[in-house]
Amino acid sequence: MNDNEYLEHTSGSGDPIGVYTRLPLSYQALYLADQTAFHDYAFVVLNDDEAAEEAVHTAMLRVQDNWDELLVESNMQQQVWAIMRQTVEEYRQDREDRAAIAQGLDNYRQGLHRLNSEQGVFAALAALPPQQFDAVVLRYILHYKPQRIAWYMGISEQTVAYHCRQGKQRLEQAVPTLLKKNGDPRTGDRSETDTKD
């Protein structure tokens, strides 16, 4: 059997045994030989066992997707490690981005309690349910785009839009003078255009 052939363990009924998937033997050998080093590297960068496991899994899926091209590389091991490093770096950056957004929300939430408003805007904002608070603050105060908010909150952009609408309605109900003073925010609302990534 060579690298281009796939090994398949089957029972008499033709069903796969266990969790074996059809993978080239050389791919399996590479993973088995380097899995500890891959995980150790990811753990050192990410400092989290679960995140390291996820990063290694994602990287190995990318290796698998490019396996035929990697087989003809002069230094396949170097290319595999490049994929591993890039994937782990993406996970590290992702964690930093999430931490920065969470810190921004936390700072705003903490500062909100120190602010005072004759109209009761800050109290109304603080009274919003958690997801509505996060969506409204990220969207209209910190100026993040809906897709970035959806990524952070782990929900769809439609759900972000829903939470923003619901949050705005609650604020308008709690503080009706907002509409009189500032006009209807829905008319000519340019908040969709000038936002962060």
Residue pLDDT, tens place only, 34-49: 889 999 999 999 999 9
CA distance 130 to 149: 14
pLDDT at 13: 47
Q: Residue 168 falls within a domain, yes or no? A: yes
Give me the domain span that covers residue 142: 115-182
Mean pLDDT of 138-164: 93
> For the domain that residue 152 is a member of, what is the CATH number?
1.10.10.10
CA distance 74 to 82: 14
Q: Residue 8 falls within a domain, yes or no? A: no
- Which tokens is 123 given? 């109290």
Number of domains in the chain: 2
Higher model confidence: residue 88 or residue 184?
Answer: 88
Q: Residue 191 falls within a domain, yes or no? A: no
pLDDT at 99: 93
Q: Residue 128 falls within a domain, yes or no? A: yes
pLDDT above 90 as % of the chain: 46
Q: How confident is the model at residue 196 (pLDDT cuts 50, 70, 90)?
A: low
Phi, psi (degrees; rounded to nearest 5) at 16:
-60, 145
| Residue 56 burial (10 A CB sphere; 0-12, 13-18, 19+) | buried
Domain boundary among 65, 95, 125: 95
